[in-house]
Structure 1
Amino acid sequence: MRFDEQSPRFTPQLVTYLSISPAPRLSARQWGVLLLLQAAGYFGQFDRTIFGMAVPQIQSDFGLSDSEISYAASFVGFAAVLASGISCLSDRFGRARVLTWTLVPYTLATACTAVSTGICSFAIFQFLAAAFITAEGIISHVIVLEEMPAECRGWAIGALNTGSACGAGLALLLFGVSNGAWRLMYSLSILPLLGVGYVRRHLPETRRWSSLKDVSTARALQLEDPGGIQLPTTTMGSPVVKQQHAAILIATFLGSLFPSSANFNVSKHIQVVHGFGASGFAKLSLIGGLLSLSAFALAGYLGDRYGRKKLGVVGILVKTAVDVAFYSVAAGADSVAWIILLFCLRMALGMALDTNFQALSGEVFPTERRTTAQGFLVLTAGLGGPLGLLLSTRLVPYVGSVAAASRLLAYGQLICACIVCVWLPETKGRELEEINA
Structure 2
Amino acid sequence: MPSTGERRILTLLALASIPFAFVNTLFTQTVSFAADEFNRADTDIGFGAAIVRWGVVLVPPIAVLADRIGRRRVLVAAAWGAPVLASLGAVAPSYEWLVASQTVARPLALVMNVMILVMLTEEMSSETRARSVGLVAIASSIGSGTAVAALPLADLAISGWRWLYLISLAFVPVALVLQRELHETSRFSHVHSNQVTSATPRLSRSRLLAQISAASLTGVFVAAASVYLVNYLRDVRNYDALMVTAFTIVTAIPAGIGIIIGGRIADERGRRVAGAVSLVLGTALVVVAFSTSGAAMWVSEVCGGILLGISYPALSVYRGEMFPTTRRGTGAAVVTASGLIGGSLGLIIAGQLLDAGWSYSRVMTLLALAPLTVSVIVVTAFPETAHRELEEISPDVDVA
SS in 2 for 1:89: helix
Deviation at 1:81, TM superposition (A): 0.3
Taking the aligned partners of 2:170 and 2:377, their CA distance within structure 1 comes to 42
1:350-399 superposed Cα distances (whole Å, 9 cap, x missing partner): 33333222202211111110000011111111211111222223444667
Taking the aligned partners of 2:284 and 2:46, their CA distance within structure 1 comes to 24
Taking the aligned partners of 2:242 and 2:354, their CA distance within structure 1 comes to 28
Q: Output the amino acid matched with 1:253.
A: S
SS in 1 for 2:60: helix
Q: Which residue is 1:276 aligned to?
A: 239
Q: Which residue is 1:433 aligned to?
A: 391
SS in 1 for 2:380: helix
Alignment of 1:374-385 (within 5 A): 374-385=332-343
1:98-124 superposed Cα distances (whole Å, 9 cap, x missing partner): 101111211111111111111011001
Taking the aligned partners of 1:389 and 1:192, their CA distance within structure 2 comes to 28
Deviation at 1:178, TM superposition (A): 6.0
Aligned with 1:294 (options 224, 246, 257): 257
Query: Does the C-alpha gap of structure 1 residues 247 and 399 become closer, same or farther in structure 2, counting only changes over 3 Å?
Result: farther
* CA contact 1:328–1:407 (8 Å) conserved in 2: no
Aligned with 2:192 (options 205, 210, 213): 213
Further displaced range: 40-49 or 396-405: 396-405
Matched, 1:168 2:157: no
SS in 2 for 1:412: helix
TM-score (norm 2): 0.92
Aligned with 1:407 (options 334, 343, 365): 365
Query: Does the C-alpha gap of structure 1 residues 291 and 324 become closer, same or farther in structure 2, counting only changes over 3 Å?
Result: closer
Deviation at 1:267, TM superposition (A): 1.3
Aligned residue pairs, count: 392
SS in 2 for 1:265: helix
SS in 2 for 1:151: coil
Taking the aligned partners of 1:58 and 1:147, their CA distance within structure 2 comes to 41
Deviation at 1:147, TM superposition (A): 0.3
Q: Output the amino acid matched with 2:272.
A: K
TM-score (norm 1): 0.85
Aligned with 1:348 (options 306, 309, 312): 306
Q: Which residue is 1:417 aligned to?
A: 375
Query: Does the C-alpha gap of structure 1 residues 288 and 82 become closer, same or farther in structure 2, counting only changes over 3 Å?
Result: same
Q: Which residue is 2:131 aligned to?
A: 155
Query: Does the C-alpha gap of structure 1 residues 397 and 159 become closer, same or farther in structure 2, counting only changes over 3 Å?
Result: closer
Q: Output the amino acid matched with 1:99.
A: L
1:203-222 superposed Cα distances (whole Å, 9 cap, x missing partner): 010000000011114x1xxx
Query: Does the C-alpha gap of structure 1 residues 271 and 135 become closer, same or farther in structure 2, counting only changes over 3 Å?
Result: same
Alignment of 1:248-259 (within 5 A): 248-259=211-222
Taking the aligned partners of 2:387 and 2:3, their CA distance within structure 1 comes to 16
Q: Which residue is 2:10 aligned to?
A: 34
Alignment of 1:196-345 (within 5 A): 196-217=175-196, 219=197, 233=199, 235-236=201-202, 242-329=205-292, 335-345=293-303
- Structure having the higher Rg: 1
SS in 2 for 1:114: helix
Taking the aligned partners of 1:306 and 1:341, their CA distance within structure 2 comes to 28
Gaps of at least 5 residues in structure 2 are 396-400
Q: Which residue is 2:77 aligned to?
A: 101
Further displaced range: 265-274 or 191-200: 191-200
CA RMSD of aligned residues (A): 1.9
Taking the aligned partners of 1:419 and 1:291, their CA distance within structure 2 comes to 27
